[in-house]
Structure 1
Amino acid sequence: MANPTHILIIPYPAQGHMIPLLDLTHHLATTRTTTPLTITILTTPKNLPILSPLLSSTTNVTPLILPFPPTPGFPPGAENTKDLPPASFRQLIPALSRLEEPLGHWFESHPSPPVVIISDFFVGWTQRFAAKMGIKRVVFSPSGGMALSVIYALWRDMPKEEDQDQNGDVLFKGLPNCPKYPWWQLSPIFRSYVEGDYNSEVIKDGFRNDMDSWGLVINTFDDLERVYLDHLISVLGHNRVWAVGPLFPPHGLKDRGGSSTVDPDTILSWLDSCRDNEVVYVSFGTQSLLTTRQIEVLAEALENSRVRFIWSVRDPSVTNELDKEGDRKIHNTVFKEFEDRVGDRGMIIKGWAPQVSILRHRAVGTFLTHCGWNSVLEGLMAGVGMLAWPMGADQYTNATLLVDELKVGVRICEGPQFVPDPCVLAQTLADSVNGEILDRQRIGKLHTSCLDAVSENGSSSKELVKFVKMLTELKTKNT
C-alpha cells in the first residue's frame, strides 16, 4: 500500500468556523482513495472537546494540541470566541499567529510531516508558514462565494469611507450584480484597519495571504453561487476552487452543541403535534446578542402574530448591554411573563438548540435568522422560507443573496441596534406562515438543488472527490 498523504487542518476557534471545517475533515477522512489519508488537526486544550465526535468516528484523524499563546488583555484560559466579547476576533486572530513557532518545531521533529495545510481564512499566516515549509496551503471559507468575493475586494481595493456614493453606499463594481453596502455594513475588521487599528494590519496581511494560497475550498454549491465561484476563479487566477457544500455532519452523527433547558426529544414531540409549515423558528446564532428592547419587541410580535414558534435564546441571563445588571433582570422578567402568556403555542429554548433537526421537521416552514452562513445553508437544506435580520460580518451579504438575488427570503430589518415595529413584524410573521410573502415554489426548487448537490453524483460530492484526488497527487509529486 502507498504511503499515506498527510494533511494538517487548522481551524479558527469559533463555532461557526470550526464545525463546517470539522465536517469537511470527516468527509476527507472517510472518502475512499487509492492513497490513504492521514489527518492531523491543530487545537488548543480548551477546544479539544469539540473534536470528540470527529475523533471517535474516524481512525485516521489525530489532534495536535498546542498551548494557547499568552495574549495581553485576554482572560486566563480564554482561547475561543465563547469566552470572549463579540469584538474579540480583532485580538484573537493575531494571537493565533503566535502558534507559528511551536508548529514549526512540531514540523521539524515529525518523521512524515504534512504535504498540505487546510486552514480557515482567518488564519492567513499559515500561507506564509506553508511556503516556508515548502508545502501547499488551501484556504477553507466557512462563508459563501458572494461573501468571500466582497471580503477579497475590500482587502484588495481598500475603499475608504469617503468613497461612498451620493446614497451613502460603497459599490463593488467588479463583482457580479454590482452589490452595494453602506459603510457601517462593511466588515468591522476592515473598518478597524481603515481607522488605524494596529491588530488589523496582521489581519490585512492574512487575507492577502489567503488570495496567494494554492487552493480554495468553499462551503457552498454550484447551483447556489456559480457566478461568484467563476468570479473567484478569475480573481485568484487559477481554477483550484472547490465548492463542496453544504457541509453537514455525516449520517448518524447528531447535532453538536452544549447544554439546553429543553430535551431534544421534547422539542421533536412538540413539533409532531403541529401542522405542516405552521411553526416559525427564531434564532440569531451563537454570537449575536439582542438588546433588551429588541427582545421585548420580538416577544410582542410573536405573541400578537398568533403563530406557533420555537425561539432559541443564546443565554437566558445576558443581553447586549452586558455590563448592566438591571438589563439582565429585565431580560429574565420579559421571558418569564412572555412564556406565561403564550402558553403551549410557543417554546423557548435557552442555551443550545438542535437547529438542523428543528428546521428539517415538516412543521417548520419559516426561519427568522441573523443570516449566518451556516444557518442559511441549514435553512436551504431544510426547504424553509427565511426572514432576514442580519446583524454583522458577512450576514448583510448573505441577506442580499437570499432576498435580492435568490428571492427565497424577506428582509425584516438590518443591524444590531435596529428595533422593528412590533405590529409590522407580527403581520410579517403571520404572512410568512399563511404563504402570502414567501415564494414556496422557488424555495422548493432551491431546496431540491441543495439536496442534489450533496447526493452521490451531485456537484459538491464530485468536487470533494476531485479535491481529495488532488491532495493525494501532491503526495505523489513530493515523494
Structure 2
Amino acid sequence: MSENHPHVLILPYPAQGHMLPLLDFTHQLVNNGVAITILVTPKNLPILDHLLSRNPSIKTLVLPFPSHPSIPAGVENVKDLPASGFRSMMYNLGKLRDPILEWFRNHPSPPSTIISDMLLGFTHEIATQLGIRRVWSVGPVLPPGEDDVSGQSNRGGSSSVLTSEILAWLDKCEDHSVVYVCFGSQAVLTNKQMEELAIALDKSGVKFILSAKRALKGHASNDYGVIPSWFEEKVAGRGLVVRDWSPQVLILKHQAIGAFLTHCGWNSTLESLIAGVPMLTWPMGADQFANANLLVDEHEVAIRACEGAQTVPNSDELAKLLAEAVQGNNVEERRLRASELRKVAINGIKEGGNSFKDLAAFVKHLREEATKIEV
C-alpha cells in the first residue's frame, strides 16, 4: 500500500469478549487511514456486519474453519462452547497458518503488519517466516463513542428481549436504583449458583436486570444455566431476565443503573468504568481476580460479592450486598470515585489524551514500516 495507507491484517480470536474490542480498535485504525484486511471463518463473518457497514473499505479474508474432534460441527466461536473449549479452539486455529502464508505470498500488496489476539500464538511463526519485525502490546481500547442503539444492540448476537424493551423498562426506574447482573459472554452458572443468586435477588428487594447465559454444548444441560421455575413470576415488574446476549454498553450507560455484579472480565470492567458505574465483583478465572483486586483495593469502586467459578454464594449474604450496592451508606463514595475514573478514561481517549497519543504513535509506526517495505 502507499505510505499514507499502510496495510494491516487483523487476526481476531473467535470469542465475543476478544473479537469486539479488537474490532473497535480496527475501527480506530480505519479512521486513521489504515487499510485493513480481517481474517474470519464463515460463521464469524456476521459479527463484522456493523463494522463493515460503517467502513466499506475493509476487506475480509474468509478461510474455512478446520475440523477438530472436540469441537462440534458447525461451531466456530467459543461462545458456543464451555470454558474448556478455549484450549481446543486455540490449537485448532493454528491449522490456519499455512493458508494464511499462502495468501500472503500470492497477494499483490500484502500487509506490512499483523495485529493478532494474544491467544493466536501461531501468528508469531507467520511473522517470522514473512520477515515481519516487533511485537507491540496495545490496548485496552474503548468502543467508539456512539449512541447508536441499533449498532450497540446487535454487536454480539441475538437477545431474548429487544433492546428497545430493555431501555423502556429502565426508563421507568429511578436513577441509580437498578443492579445489572452479568458474567460475560462465556461463563455459565451452575444450577446451584443460579438458585442462590435468584434467591438473593428476590430477598434483596432491589430492581435488577439479570443477563443469564444458557448451557452450551459440552455442558450437562441439567447441571448448568437453569433459572429456577418460580423466579421470573415472583420478581415480575421488579426484575428483568435477559437470556444470551444483552446490550451491555447501553445498559451500563443508562442513568437507572446503580451497580454492576460482574465477573470482572476486562471488557466488562472498562465498560463499567467508562459509564461511571460501581461494581460488585465475582471473578471466576484468568485475569479476573487481579481485576477485582484492582477495583476493590486500589480504586475502591467495588465491593467483593463472591469468588471462584464453582463457588456457591450464600444467598443471605449476597442479598445484603446487593441492597447495599444501591442503598448502602458508602454508595455515594463509590459512585463519586467511579465518576472520577470515568473522567480519566474519557480524557484519555480525547485528542491530547494518553490513549489518543498512543494510537497516533502506533499509526505513525505502521506508515514508517510500510515505507520501508516499498523501498
TM class by shorter chain equals over 0.9
Equivalent residues in 2 for 1:192-231 (5 A)? Answer: 213-219=134-140
Aligned match of 1:68: 65
Cα–Cα, structure 1 residues 459 and 435, in superposed 2: closer, same or farther, change >3 Å?
Answer: farther
Instruction: Tell me, in whole angstroms, the C-alpha distance in 2 between the residues paired with 1:290 and 1:119.
Output: 30
Q: With a CA cutoff of 8 Å and minimum separation of 6, indicate the structure with the bigger relative contact order.
A: 2
**Given the alignment of the two structures, is residue 443 of structure 1 paired with residue 353 of structure 2, yes or no?**
no
Cα–Cα, structure 1 residues 324 and 29, in superposed 2: closer, same or farther, change >3 Å?
Answer: closer
Cα–Cα, structure 1 residues 281 and 3, in superposed 2: closer, same or farther, change >3 Å?
Answer: closer
Structure 2 counterpart of 1:476, from 352, 371, 375: 371
Equivalent residues in 2 for 1:129-148 (5 A)? Answer: 129-136=126-133
Structure 2 residue matching 1:282: 3-state secondary structure: strand
Structure 1 residue matching 2:91: 3-state secondary structure: helix
Tell whether the 8 Å contact from 2:82 to 2:219 is kept in structure 1 after alignment: no
1:217 deviates by 0.7
One-letter amino acid matched to 2:207: R
Structure 2 counterpart of 1:246, from 142, 149, 164: 142
Aligned match of 1:17: 18
Instruction: Tell me, in whole angstroms, the C-alpha distance in 1 between the residues paired with 2:178 and 2:147.
Output: 25
Equivalent residues in 2 for 1:306-455 (5 A)? Answer: 306-315=205-214, 318=215, 322-323=219-220, 325=222, 327=223, 331-332=226-227, 334=228, 336-438=229-331, 439-455=334-350
What do you get for the CA RMSD once the two structures are aligned?
2.0
Instruction: Tell me, in whole angstroms, the C-alpha distance in 2 between the residues paired with 1:319 and 1:74.
Output: 12
**Given the alignment of the two structures, is residue 294 of structure 1 paired with residue 193 of structure 2, yes or no?**
yes
Cα–Cα, structure 1 residues 94 and 388, in superposed 2: closer, same or farther, change >3 Å?
Answer: same
Structure 1 residue matching 2:37: 3-state secondary structure: strand
1:351 deviates by 2.0
Structure 1 residue matching 2:138: 3-state secondary structure: strand
Tell whether the 8 Å contact from 2:178 to 2:208 is kept in structure 1 after alignment: yes
One-letter amino acid matched to 1:322: H
1:4 deviates by 3.0
**Given the alignment of the two structures, is residue 5 of structure 1 paired with residue 2 of structure 2, yes or no?**
no
Tell whether the 8 Å contact from 2:16 to 2:156 is kept in structure 1 after alignment: no
**Count of aligned pairs:** 368
Tell whether the 8 Å contact from 1:292 to 1:320 is kept in structure 2 after alignment: no
Cα–Cα, structure 1 residues 45 and 88, in superposed 2: closer, same or farther, change >3 Å?
Answer: same
One-letter amino acid matched to 1:444: S
Q: Which runs of 5+ in 1 are unaligned?
A: 137-212, 220-244
Q: Which runs of 5+ in 2 are unaligned?
A: none
1:247 deviates by 3.5
Aligned match of 1:271: 170
Aligned match of 1:37: 34
Tell whether the 8 Å contact from 1:291 to 1:321 is kept in structure 2 after alignment: no
Which deviations, in whole Å up to 9, do the C-alpha atoms of 1:152-203 show, x marking residues without a partner?
A: xxxxxxxxxxxxxxxxxxxxxxxxxxxxxxxxxxxxxxxxxxxxxxxxxxxx
Instruction: Tell me, in whole angstroms, the C-alpha distance in 2 between the residues paired with 1:320 and 1:472.
Output: 44
Instruction: Tell me, in whole angstroms, the C-alpha distance in 2 between the residues paired with 1:267 and 1:308.
Output: 13
Aligned match of 1:48: 45
Instruction: Tell me, in whole angstroms, the C-alpha distance in 2 between the residues paired with 1:475 and 1:319.
Output: 44
Instruction: Tell me, in whole angstroms, the C-alpha distance in 1 between the residues paired with 2:66 and 2:218.
Output: 29
**Given the alignment of the two structures, is residue 94 of structure 1 paired with residue 91 of structure 2, yes or no?**
yes
**Given the alignment of the two structures, is residue 458 of structure 1 paired with residue 353 of structure 2, yes or no?**
yes
Instruction: Tell me, in whole angstroms, the C-alpha distance in 1 between the residues paired with 2:309 and 2:3.
Output: 53
Instruction: Tell me, in whole angstroms, the C-alpha distance in 2 between the residues paired with 1:272 and 1:324.
Output: 35
One-letter amino acid matched to 1:246: L
Equivalent residues in 2 for 1:164-203 (5 A)? Answer: none
**Given the alignment of the two structures, is residue 124 of structure 1 paired with residue 121 of structure 2, yes or no?**
yes
Tell whether the 8 Å contact from 1:319 to 1:331 is kept in structure 2 after alignment: no
Tell whether the 8 Å contact from 1:291 to 1:319 is kept in structure 2 after alignment: no
One-letter amino acid matched to 1:297: E
Instruction: Tell me, in whole angstroms, the C-alpha distance in 2 between the residues paired with 1:453 and 1:277.
Output: 25
One-letter amino acid matched to 2:77: N
- TM-score, with normalisation over the residues of structure 1? 0.73
Aligned match of 1:185: none
1:440 deviates by 2.1
1:249 deviates by 6.4
Structure 2 residue matching 1:387: 3-state secondary structure: strand
Cα–Cα, structure 1 residues 74 and 374, in superposed 2: closer, same or farther, change >3 Å?
Answer: same
Tell whether the 8 Å contact from 2:80 to 2:216 is kept in structure 1 after alignment: no
Aligned match of 2:179: 280
1:248 deviates by 4.2
One-letter amino acid matched to 2:285: G
1:458 deviates by 2.0
Cα–Cα, structure 1 residues 73 and 303, in superposed 2: closer, same or farther, change >3 Å?
Answer: closer
Tell whether the 8 Å contact from 1:290 to 1:319 is kept in structure 2 after alignment: no
Which deviations, in whole Å up to 9, do the C-alpha atoms of 1:316-361 show, x marking residues without a partner?
A: xx38993254x46x935x1x41111122011111122111111111
One-letter amino acid matched to 1:88: G
One-letter amino acid matched to 2:258: G
Instruction: Tell me, in whole angstroms, the C-alpha distance in 2 between the residues paired with 1:2 and 1:88.
Output: 41
Percent identity, please. 48
Instruction: Tell me, in whole angstroms, the C-alpha distance in 1 between the residues paired with 2:16 and 2:145.
Output: 14
1:310 deviates by 0.7
- TM-score, with normalisation over the residues of structure 2? 0.93
Structure 1 residue matching 2:321: 3-state secondary structure: helix
Tell whether the 8 Å contact from 2:93 to 2:120 is kept in structure 1 after alignment: yes
1:436 deviates by 2.3
One-letter amino acid matched to 1:100: R
